[in-house]
Amino acid sequence: MDKKHEIDIELDESVANGSYANLAIISHSTSEFVIDFAALMPGLPKAKVRNRIILSPEHAKRLLMSLQDNITRYESNVGRINIPTQALPDDSITPTPGFNMGEA
């Protein structure tokens, strides 16, 4: 019988509190993905990056798959997550401010 690999994960007190982010800027090169998490406050034109995570392309894809799996389980237990959209004058639709993807 194969023994499961266990990882002992240490969570430092300064990291355990987390930090608030309502904006993510995602960029990439051929060798890495960079995700900057920022907080954009109402009425302020400037967002401050709170955390930067750098991932290999393989780990970025694993993160995507894990997030999709967790969202699917969340929605089956709690209900669908609706993302509001707002119409622009030309009748095109754009997401409201929040987590957006972009390239730096």
Give the tens place of pLDDT for each residue, 53-82: 999 999 999 999 999 999 999 999 999 999
Query: How many angstroms separate the Cα of 104 from the Cα of each of 13, 24, 99?
Result: 32, 12, 15
In 3-56, which residue ranges form alpha helices assigned H by DSSP? 13-16
Asked if residue 22 lies in contact with residue 97, where contact means CB atoms within 8 angstroms, the answer is: yes
Provide the β-strand partners of residue 35.
Answer: 26, 53
Specify the pLDDT at position 101: 52
Question: If pLDDT is split at 50, 70 and 90, which confidence band does 94 have?
Answer: very low
36's tokens: 């900057």
Domain boundaries, the chain: 19-95
Helix (H) or strand (E) holding 37: strand 33-40
Residue type for position 84: P
| Cα distance between residue 53 and residue 91, in whole Å | 35
pLDDT above 70 covers a percentage of the chain that reads: 79
CB atoms within 10 A of CB 21: 19
